[in-house]
Amino acid sequence: MNVEISARQRYQQQLQRRQTVVFGSILSAMVALLLLGAVFWTGLTPFPFDPGFSAPAKPISTPCPTGTKPVDPKTITAQVYNSTTRTGLAGTAAKNLQANGVTVTESSNWSGRALEPSATIFAGAGGIDSAYTLRAFFPGSTVQFDATQTNDSVYVVLGTDEKDMVAKPTAEQYAAAMQPIEGCQAVKSVGDSK
């Protein structure tokens, strides 16, 4: 039995073949792009170019001191925080700093994670030399740049390695505290400070 296919049926068959080819091609391309994206996302292959928006944020960097001489402690305004589980550490440190002329506006517990150095002193562009000066009180302390600090005040976060705060630093201890920390960067290269 010879069945003839009508023109309409031939057209429908051609249309189905075309649709199969088109949708099959699109589906194949999508699967290939998905696999390629997975390879880049997992890091098996590096991305061929570096879009600036996907770069990880720069970590807070250690700034270098802007001067070589310590700041007069009487001109320093600081906040003192305790990141450890030892009770009263911030209060004791605040009293010692105040006895040396530092204006302490707050002393309380640190809300962030516990820090390891004896003290981490955070400062904006205007308080870097004050932060380095306060290093004389906390042997083994470090200075971190905080771009959100817009004034010259600093905040001291006491860490788990805090053992012996210096009651009254000597001239030699102040001079040693003003030495740049290894790996420090000039303020202009640390953040968006001016």
Write out the two tokens for 105.
């506006």
Mean pLDDT calculated for residue range 51-60: 51
Q: What is the pLDDT of residue 192?
A: 45
What is the CATH number assigned to the segment(s) 73-182? 3.30.70.2390
User: Which run of H or E residues covers position 149?
Assistant: none
- pTM of the predicted protein model: 0.67
Tell me the average pLDDT across 121-128.
93
| Contact assessment for residue 121 and residue 156, using Cβ atoms and an 8 Å cutoff | yes
The per-residue pLDDT for 5 is 78
Mean pLDDT for all residues in the chain? 87
More confident residue, 17 or 60: 17
Task: Give the tokens for residue 125.
Answer: 């562009």
- Report how far residue 105's alpha carbon sits from residue 37's, in angstroms, rounded to the nearest whole number: 52
* Better pLDDT: 24 or 60: 24
